[in-house]
């Protein structure tokens, strides 16, 4: 029982933290994504994505939702940790009786929570731009959890590794942003000229966006089972890696 | 009964610096234990090993019979550690911080205990203030409060009174003494040796990563065979150096006092001599060695007496 309270308190703290600074953590990302929606729906009015036979706006909505999910989950765990390291309050986590797996799970759920809040809000905004229909709500929710879980874990790893705030931006500017933009959020990778279409297949974010789009519109570039395998494996590997880093106290214990 | 803390052959190096060298210490339950030593002696490192902030290189540490590595969740629960560095979580106010902290240690609805601790530390009136809005001393009080909200059996205070005002210092000690009387084990590090001398039952002195002495406070002080006689006089005598040849470190102070140092065995005969001299005596005080004398002897250069 007291073990549950311990764990629950960490989750609560993580969610409480980003709620207290919701202007930066929730509303700011909503504005930028809403701008994408406005611009794309205006510029590509009545344009269709040929491979999918659907409106362009419907094509990019799942991608935009996933992009915000990815960015916000990552931002949540990485900034929670880097601030804790910077202010020294990381000792609170070290002195408290958390198991290493609880630390991983607790921080991860905080990141997922923020990702889902922002993702849901974007979906609601998107319903102003298209019908709001979703092919499989269950799968979409499941994939959202999985993908924001992965980037929450990435955020934890980045937060542990980083020694200052700049290091976090290295992570997001040099890895996350390019991988997301090149993953087919805004286009079908089938449209890319030969070699680039192949290169995309090495980008794990491509499979995430692709499987989310499948759940949204029922069509995908890659085989769903392949995407699930790749993304699921990545999640499991990152989960245990993160737990291991907590166990050895990577860059947080002397 | 399990020992509160058992530390066996613990070593820890940072590069070339041996922060802890073959440290052995046993602390009984219910003790008020002082961990003293000059800057860099290894006190905080040792506390870090206890609390899981520092990975030791070798050795074994148990808390109430549980190993701090294998059984870290149990040991962390029974410890309340006040770190030396003031750290804070900038997102929350005082009360929220203590609620979160209670939750971390598995305690729900801890309002009553939080109130008690806030009262004892004089923080009640700041409970709704964000931590950024606290003064330095108040932040330290909150640090102490955080370590106490889950009612731990063993309380470790790493220089808790640095930067804390006199009034709070007094009420803090009253509270800690009360906790000790309730059976809590207290481990204290401080550079205020008088505080340690007043409060602690047993004291360990660390120097350069090694334990150079562990003993009952009285026994430690007895090791220094020193008595200081202070004689207040009407007038400054001439040739003070020659008056009492058996005394050492003879000194004349601005307050008309003649200070003489001697050993326990010679104190009576020296007092006799003073009385039989022709000096016009106003008052006489005799003081024993202080913890500070022991501390200086064991930690100063050349004083590396090992136990
Ligand atoms: N993270 C670290 N990296 C490198 N050296 C360290 C680190 N932490 C402590 N040390 C070194 O270990 C030694 C012991 O430090 P420690 O903080 O334990 O001393 P202390 O007894 O608590 O001193 P103080 O009274 O100043 O608090 C010092 O020489 C210190 O420089
Ligand atoms: Mg210290």
Q: Over the stretch B213-233, which tens digit does the pLDDT of each residue have? A: 999 988 888 888 888 888 898
Chain A to chain B Cβ contacts (< 8 Å):
92
Topology annotation, domain B225-288: Alpha-Beta Plaits (3.30.70)
| CA-proximal residue: ligand 1, atom 31 (nearest) | B40
Mean pLDDT of chain A: 93
Tokens of B47: 């506390």
Task: Give the C-alpha separation, B139 to B155, whole Å.
Answer: 18
pLDDT in tens, A125-150: 999 988 888 999 999 999 999 999 99
Cβ contacts of A39 within 8 Å, gap of 6 or more: none
- B206 CA: nearest ligand 1 atom: 21
Q: Measure A249 CA to nearest chain B CA, in Å.
A: 8
Residue with tokens 């004083």: B303
Topology annotation, domain B3-221: Rossmann fold (3.40.50)
Task: Give the C-alpha separation, A138 to A227, whole Å.
Answer: 17
Torsion angle in degrees (nearest 10) through CA of B242, B247, B250, B256: -90
Tokens of B245: 């040849």
Tokens of B146: 């955080």
Ligand nearest the Cα of residue B12 is 1
Q: What angle do CA B42, B44, B49 make, to 5 degrees?
A: 95
Mean pLDDT of the A63-67 span: 93
- Of B129-133, B239-243, B289-293, least confident by mean pLDDT is B239-243
Residue B23 has pLDDT above 50, yes or no: yes
Residue B162 has pLDDT above 90, yes or no: no
> Among residues of chain A, what percentage have pLDDT more than 70?
100
> Alpha helices of chain B — where are they, by DSSP H?
43-51, 72-78, 94-104, 111-120, 136-148, 166-181, 193-199, 217-222, 240-243, 267-276, 291-299
Give chain B positions within 8 Å (CB) of A247: none
Ligand nearest the Cα of residue B42 is 1
Task: Give the C-alpha separation, B7 to A10, whole Å.
Answer: 31
User: What pLDDT was estimated at residue B27?
Assistant: 97
* pLDDT class of B301 with cuts at 50, 70, 90: low
Cβ contacts of B33 within 8 Å, gap of 6 or more: B27, B185, B186, B187, B188, B200, B201, B202, B203, B204
Residue B245 has pLDDT above 50, yes or no: yes
CB-nearest partner of A249 from B55, B103, B105: B55
Residue A195 has pLDDT above 90, yes or no: no
Give yes or no for residue B39 CB within 6 A of ligand 1: yes
Task: Give the C-alpha separation, B283 to B266, whole Å.
Answer: 20
Give yes or no for residue B37 CB within 6 A of ligand 1: yes
Closest chain A residue to B150, measured at CA: A96
Q: What angle do CA B12, B15, B19 make, to 5 degrees?
A: 35
Mean pLDDT of the A64-78 span: 95
- Of A53-62, A92-101, B193-202, least confident by mean pLDDT is A53-62
Using the beta-carbon criterion (under 8 Å), do B106 and A6 form an inter-chain contact? yes
Residue A176 has pLDDT above 60, yes or no: yes
Residue B303 has pLDDT above 70, yes or no: no
- The torsion angles phi and psi of A203, rounded to 5 degrees, stand at -95, 110
Domain ranges across chain A: 2-248
What does pTM read for this prediction? 0.91
This model of the complex carries an ipTM of 0.93
Domain ranges across chain B: 3-221, 225-288
Q: Measure A197 CA to nearest chain B CA, in Å.
A: 45
Contact A97, A29 (CB under 8 A): no
Between residues B185 and A200, which one has the greater pLDDT? Answer: B185
Q: Measure A244 CA to nearest chain B CA, in Å.
A: 15
Cβ contacts of A220 within 8 Å, gap of 6 or more: A210, A211, A213, A214, A227
Cα of B54 vs centre of ligand 2, distance in Å, is 13
User: What pLDDT was estimated at residue A240?
Assistant: 98
* DSSP, res B236: P
pLDDT in tens, A18-36: 999 999 999 999 998 889 8
> Among residues of chain B, what percentage have pLDDT more than 70?
98
Q: Is A24 on the interface with B (CB under 8 A)?
A: no
Q: Is A2 on the interface with B (CB under 8 A)?
A: yes
In Å, how far are B21, B95, B171, B192 from B165, measured between CA atoms? 35, 22, 10, 13
Tokens of A120: 């849901």
Give yes or no for residue B144 CB within 6 A of ligand 1: no
């Amino acid at each position: 029982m007291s073990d549950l309270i311990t764990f629950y308190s960490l989750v609560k703290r993580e969610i409480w933290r980003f709620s207290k600074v919701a202007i930066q953590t929730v509303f700011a990302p909503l504005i930028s994504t809403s701008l994408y929606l406005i611009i794309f729906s205006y510029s590509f009015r009545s344009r269709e994505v040929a491979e999918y036979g659907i409106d362009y706006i419907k094509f990019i909505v799942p991608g935009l939702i996933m992009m915000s999910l990815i960015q916000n989950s990552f931002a949540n765990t990485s900034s929670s940790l880097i601030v804790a390291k910077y202010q020294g309050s990381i000792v609170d986590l070290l002195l408290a009786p958390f198991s290493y797996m609880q630390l991983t799970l607790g921080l991860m759920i905080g990141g997922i929570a923020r990702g889902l809040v922002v993702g849901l809000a974007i979906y609601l905004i998107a319903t102003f731009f298209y019908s709001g229909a979703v092919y499989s709500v269950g799968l979409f929710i499941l994939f959202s959890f999985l993908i924001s879980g992965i980037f929450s874990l990435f955020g934890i790893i980045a937060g542990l590794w980083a020694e200052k705030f700049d290091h976090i931006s290295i992570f997001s500017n040099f890895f996350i942003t390019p991988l997301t933009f090149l993953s087919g959020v805004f286009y079908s990778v089938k449209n890319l000229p030969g070699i680039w279409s192949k290169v995309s297949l090495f980008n794990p974010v491509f499979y995430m966006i692709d499987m989310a789009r499948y759940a949204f519109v029922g069509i995908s570039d890659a085989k769903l089972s392949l995407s699930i395998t790749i993304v699921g494996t990545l999640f499991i590997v990152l989960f245990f890696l993160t737990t291991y880093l907590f166990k050895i106290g990577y860059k947080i214990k002397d | 009964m399990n020992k509160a803390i058992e530390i066996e052959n613990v070593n820890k190096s940072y590069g070339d610096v041996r922060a802890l060298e073959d440290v052995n210490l046993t602390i009984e339950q219910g003790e008020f234990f002082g961990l003293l030593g000059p800057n860099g002696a290894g006190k905080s490192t040792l506390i870090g090993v206890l609390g899981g902030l520092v990975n030791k290189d070798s050795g074994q540490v148990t808390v109430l019979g549980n190993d701090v590595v294998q059984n870290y969740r149990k040991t962390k629960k029974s410890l309340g550690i006040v770190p030396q560095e003031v750290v804070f979580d900038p997102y929350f106010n005082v009360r929220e911080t203590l609620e979160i902290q209670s939750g971390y240690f598995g305690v729900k609805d801890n309002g009553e205990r939080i109130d008690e601790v806030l009262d004892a530390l004089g923080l009640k009136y700041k409970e709704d203030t964000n931590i950024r809005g606290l003064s330095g001393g108040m932040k330290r009080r909150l640090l102490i409060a955080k370590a106490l909200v889950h009612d731990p059996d063993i309380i470790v205070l790493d220089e808790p009174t640095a930067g804390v005002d006199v009034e709070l210092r007094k009420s803090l000690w009253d509270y800690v003494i009360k906790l000790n009387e309730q059976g809590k084990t207290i481990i204290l590090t401080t550079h205020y040796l008088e505080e340690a001398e007043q409060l602690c039952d047993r004291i360990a002195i660390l120097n350069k990563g090694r334990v150079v002495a562990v003993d009952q406070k009285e026994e430690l002080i007895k090791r220094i065979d020193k008595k200081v006689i202070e004689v207040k006089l009407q007038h400054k005598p001439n040739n003070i150096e020659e008056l009492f040849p058996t005394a050492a470190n003879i000194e004349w102070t601005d307050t008309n006092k003649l200070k003489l140092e001697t050993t326990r065995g010679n104190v009576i005969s020296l007092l006799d001599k003073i009385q039989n001299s022709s000096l016009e005596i106003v008052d006489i005080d005799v003081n024993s060695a202080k913890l500070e004398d022991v501390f200086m002897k064991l930690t100063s250069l050349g004083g590396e007496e090992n136990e």
